[in-house]
Structure 1
Amino acid sequence: MSDQIKHECGIAFIRLLKPLSYYQEKYGTALYGLNKLYLLMEKQHNRGQDGAGIATIKLDMKPGSRYISRYRSMAQNAVADIFGYVQNKFVDIQNETPELMKDTEFLKQNVSFIGEVLLGHLRYGTHGKNSIENCHPFLRQNNWMTRNLVIAGNFNMTNVDELLEQLYELGQHPKEKADTVTVLEKIGHFLDDENQVLFDEYKKEGLSNVEITHKISESLNIAKILRRSAKDWDGGYTISGIVGNGDAFVLRDPSGIRPAFYYADDEIVVAASERPAIQTAFNVQIKQVKEIEPGYALIVKKDGTVTQEMYREPAEKRACSFERIYFSRGSDADIYKERKQLGHLLIPQVLSAVNKDLKNTVFSFIPNTAEVSFYGMVEGLHQYVREVQKDVLINNKEQLNDEQLNELLSMSPRVEKLAIKDVKLRTFITQDADRGEMVAHVYDTTYGVIKNDTDTLVAVDDSIVRGTTLKQSIIKIIDRLHPKKIIIVSSAPQIRYPDCYGIDMSKMGQFVAFDAAIQLLKERGMEHIIEEVYEKCKASLLLPKEQIVNYVKDIYRPFKQQEISDQIAKIITPKGTVAEVEVIYQTLDNLHIACPNHSGDWYFSGNYPTPGGNKVVNKAFVNWKEGNNQRAY
């Protein structure tokens, strides 16, 4: 998208089901698991560039031997930095005693990160400080092996205050107010509780403490621990965790908001946030990679048993549609088709806007992420051309002379690449005036393909959030080509409401659609609606979240979509622009046609999948009205 927004995060989980010697013999390396973890993370680097981390656990280590390793990085290329750090562990061995690189038992006993259970995380920080302490995986340590816990996830909880209060009631005192801490401590508490229950039970049977330790490891009920821990979570989440003994899990929220995929065979269990990462890293077909079902946890016991167990009653599936529009990599077969369909479905609106005049219209796209939608639009344009040609040739061919026939057969959409992002340009000057001038040149353009004051330029963007890049850079630059009209086409609907499940869109004032609606209310003497919504939203914050409704919908209710689109066009048109500017948005109906299995559309529709979402949107409006520039959860 032309306005960059952040999104957290990506996970990569691997459990080796065979002894390390098996992978050495079959694949020629004891580092098989680490190599695959690197691939999984590198193939998901789009999901997090603020930091990364890995953790590994070695199974069946003797007491006194280190069995948990963790390393996190905030380097510019964090994944490469992490695996460079790990690789350095083997440099001396490779140089001095290379034969030991094949001795898996030696490596396991003497080198960190050589383990059977591996967990990786890529972080995009939507809020808070970017520090190493904010990077996953998080570690909860204990001298009891089965009380150690490592977690990493792609999640945001809307009810952190409520969850913290529950921890206080349990007698805990968390070190900070963050959903990562509350999740870690909540699972950790019930992990401790399960350990104690099992200890007391086996103690009554007369077992020794050493025997009890082994029995607890065998008997831990991971699904039960997760049921108790997640009972009151409100948010979107995919969370992976490893217990110190090697038990592991990957769970997905009951609405399926955040994505989670897995693959399992007799050698390995792997899970990740994106399906193509698994396909590429393990060379498996798309049908072999499964989704973790909403409300379920993929559980891998220390003995290698793999199950998928329900830990919370699934709700209506509301998988995030923004994953399909923008965040997930387009190398996924289904996502690629969906993005093309998003572009194709815009054809009727676009043709109407250009009066079906393809001769004097140039089609292009703005950021690279809009390219696939653009392909879909171009396919739709060619289909339209074929239909026009077919109709004329069937019904009017006798009336055509040679010149008209040649013109008909040469009819084709004019497709050009006009906006090119100059990634080397840095807006390093701090003064506002200078910075604005520099921002205006972040994109460059291709000259000589537009007929001055004659052509209409249609530019596809995958979504428009704030509209600032359009106003400060893109429209200024393409207006220099002297088109008669500029039409910005968004393959996504209008973003009207904040996200609270992992996308960096938490404040009402960030959305150009909201700004347009507020301007229209003021222009038409309807300011009372703003005040009424404010009072309703403020009063609703005193209610339990389950009783709250989204009152911010009333801000948009008086207007048709096109009225707001027209106002957005005015907002994003820079002063001095010569060409007429129009904005076209995807419709919600078409979004659901293109992405039928991902109905999560709360940022467009205001229909949140959890009660906490309604509380967040009302709080966000109150914050905006009161000039409070803080997130609403």
Structure 2
Amino acid sequence: MFNEIKGLNEECGVFGVFGASQASQLTYFGLHTLQHRGQEGAGIVSSDGMRLYQHRDRGLLADVFSNPADLTRLVGKAAIGHVRYGTSGSNSIANVQPFLFHFYDGDIALAHNGNLTNAKSLKRRLEKNGAVFQSNSDTEILIHLIRQKQDCDFITALKQSLTEVKGGFAFLLLQKDRLIAALDPNGFRPLVIGKLNEAYIVASETCALDVIGAQFVRDVMPGELIIIDKDGLKIDCFTKDTQLAVCSMEYVYFARPDSIIHGVTVHNARKQMGRLLAKEHPTQKADMVIGVPNSSLSAASGYAEAAGLPYEMGLIKSQYIARTFIQPTQELRERGVKMKLSAVRGVVEGKSIVIVDDSIVRGTTSKQIVKLLRDAGAVEVHMRIASPPFKYPCFYGIDVSTRSELLAANHSVEEMCRVIGADSLEFLSIESLIKAISIPNANKYPNGGLTVAYFDGQYPTPLYDYEADYLKSLQQQTLRKEQC
């Protein structure tokens, strides 16, 4: 349901290896690099060519594999792994991936990054036909769709099933003798292919290739089906009805700055966002620019460069606390901000500060940051946001607040400025966001091959199960504004 979307959180991270000795250890290193994409649970399934082996649990990757024996038992030259932040399903062991399914004709492991927008309808249909679900994650739906097609070979059944699921998905499937990857027809979530000697790697981000010394081969394109087995890599597709629409929040916030998505280095895109933000919204008589660690540092350096202002380290982030939006209550989120960040009094005291952040969702973090800086003696605090106002939910794999919780959906920029307590507040325009990212050869696609629906409400696909609730929320929002 629409009102079950909880807050701005990362999606998930997937990593797969085929044809490498100690594949599970390589998968562990890759997942460790992708830990920023999910902190609720982690798991790995490996194959020795005869059978599949699994270990998974809730918590951070290092905690899940705190006993070295758990990793050692995952033998074989192929493996897939997953780090989870649940966009659907509760945080229970049953929902931790990769899932492992045992069938008379062969076992299958499955990992998924994204969110299916027609999951509720599909699950209802499958259950009516006798399917029994072991989890309440939408990921499991794909396996049930495949198994219903008993008159087809596996790849044909998979292709047909992939056309039935809608929304955002990057799937990894592991059988005893092959690794398969699939990306949704819009490529909402990033997925890349690498090569390490004779082994092939599939991962959510290129930073996971770098950590194991793999060479980048190519991005997986929308609608593609990648099959890797003893004969090498085969590129197929399950649909030709595709339109590139990469999630713009990958560049704004989610991806690591050293990752490259469709030819664009994330750090470079964020720095350009900062430069364009400075041109659109300069700040008069400011003494310095500081960024909110860590995802905003690139944009802050770009802003300082374009504005001709010193770039200073005015905020320090503790490296030993998880991101604050994961906390389940407002009180815990506010306490988490105080634990996570501290102001450097010797830098900001008596100064007029430009603070650059990547986004404002509820406004909790922004309000606390402004207060931290004022308490440390800042004379003025001017907030600049390196993305447009976040007004609309995402349904493709980011757990975003209901529209009623989104600060920008309920307040003007001036009102938001008063809520967070800043002296001024400005946002990057949608046009400048698209320009800053500039995916090569994406001019033929709307919005330069990006999804910017969170900012303008124009979704690139139907919303399916979410449609009625979303329209109802818009009507309620309009009514509240009229009453005010």
Q: Report which stretch shifted further, 268-277 or 564-573.
A: 564-573
Q: Summarize deviations over 1:433-455 as a string: whole Å, max 9, x none.
A: 99968865753222244574xx5
Mapped to 1, the partners of 2:339 and 2:96 lie a distance apart of 34
* Structure-2 residue corresponding to 1:317: 244
Give the aligned length.
455
In the other structure, the counterpart of 1:456 is 352
Change (3 A) 1:379 1:72: same
Aligned equivalent of 1:70: 54
Q: Quick check: 1:446 aligned with 2:372? A: no
From 412, 424, 438, the equivalent of 1:596 is 438
1:622 paired residue number: 472
**2: CA distance, partners of 1:53 / 1:603:** 31
Alpha-carbon distance in structure 1 between the residues aligned to 2:178 and 2:460: 31
Cα distance in 1 between the residues matched to 2:354 and 2:220: 40
* Deviation of the 1:279 alpha carbon: 2.7
Structure index of larger Rg: 1
Q: CA deviation at 1:416?
A: 2.3
2:109 to 143, 150, 166: 150
Partner of 1:501: 396
Identify the residue that residue 350 of structure 1 maps to in structure 2.
Answer: 281
Matches within 5 A, 1:213-612: 220=153, 222=155, 224-243=156-175, 245-264=176-195, 267-284=198-215, 288-301=216-229, 303-332=230-259, 334-351=265-282, 353-354=283-284, 357=285, 360-382=286-308, 413-422=309-318, 443-450=341-348, 452=350, 455-471=351-367, 473-516=368-411, 564-573=412-421, 581-597=423-439, 598-612=449-463
432 and 266 in structure 1: CA distance in 2 versus 1, 3 angstrom threshold:
closer
- What's the Cα RMSD here? 3.0
SS in 1 for 2:451: coil
Amino acid at match of 1:70: Q
Does the C-alpha gap of structure 1 residues 316 and 265 become closer, same or farther in structure 2, counting only changes over 3 Å? Answer: same
> What is the TM-score when the length of structure 2 is the normalising length?
0.85
Residue matched to 1:81: 64
Contact 1:497–1:617 (Cα < 8 Å) also in 2: no
- 1:490 offset after TM fit, Å? 0.7
- Structure 1 regions of 5+ residues with no counterpart? 17-22, 24-30, 62-66, 90-111, 195-219, 383-412, 517-563, 574-579, 628-633
What displacement does 1:81 show? 3.2
Contact 1:47 1:327 in 2 (8 A): yes
Q: Does 1:125 align with 2:57?
A: no
Following the alignment from structure 2 to structure 1, what is the Cα–Cα distance between the partners of residues 356 and 364?
Answer: 16
Deviation digits for residues 24-81 of structure 1 (CA, Å, limit 9, x no counterpart)? xxxxxxx53233212211111111111101111221x4xxxxx221110214x33453
Contact 2:15/2:204 (<8 A) preserved: yes
TM-superposed deviation, 1:266: 6.6
- CA contact under 8 A between 1:506 and 1:620: conserved in structure 2? no
In structure 2, the partner of 1:12 is 15
2:53, 2:74 within 8 Å by CA — same for their partners in 1? yes
Show the counterpart of 1:183: 142
3-state SS in 2 of match to 1:590:
helix
Q: Distance in 1 between matches of 2:321 and 2:453?
A: 35
Q: Note closer, same or farther for the CA distance 1:118–1:307 as it changes in structure 2 (3 Å cut).
A: same
Inter-partner Cα distance in structure 2 for 1:467 and 1:337 = 26
Amino acid in the other structure paired with 2:253: Y
Change (3 A) 1:227 1:128: closer
State the match for 1:38 in structure 2. 28
Q: Which moved more, 1:121-130 or 1:170-179?
A: 170-179
CA contact (8 A) 1:297 1:310 kept: yes
Question: What is the rounded CA distance, in whole Å, between the counterparts of 2:289 and 2:120 in structure 1?
Answer: 49
Contact in 2 for aligned 1:279/1:289 (Cα 8 Å): no
The Cα shift of 1:11 comes to: 0.7
Greater fraction strand: 2
CA apart distance, 1:169: 5.4
1:291-317, CA deviations, whole angstroms, 9 ceiling, x for partnerless residues? 11100110124x434211110224221
Bigger mean CA deviation after superposition, 617-626 or 314-323: 617-626
Conserved? CA contact 2:116–2:396, under 8 Å = yes
- The structure whose residues are more often helix, as a share, is 1
Cα distance in 2, alignment partners of residues 280 and 116 from structure 1:
18
Give CA-to-partner distance per residue, 1:415-463, whole Å, 9 cap, x none.
Answer: 3222223566899xx99999968865753222244574xx531100011
Q: Distance in 1 between matches of 2:129 and 2:333?
A: 51
Distance 1:421 1:339 in 2: 19
Amino acid at match of 1:55: V
Give 1:133 shift: 0.6
Residue identity opposite 2:344 in structure 1? T
**Contact kept in structure 2, 1:160 and 1:177, CA below 8 Å:** no
Deviation at 1:336, TM superposition (A): 1.4
Give the aligned residue type for 1:444: S
SS of the residue corresponding to residue 342 of structure 1 reads helix
Aligned residue for 1:58? 48
> What SS is found at the alignment partner of 2:281?
helix
Residues 297/592 of structure 1: CA separation in 2 closer, same or farther (3 Å cut): same
3-state SS in 1 of match to 2:345: coil
**Alpha-carbon separation, structure 2, partners of 1:34 and 1:618:** 43
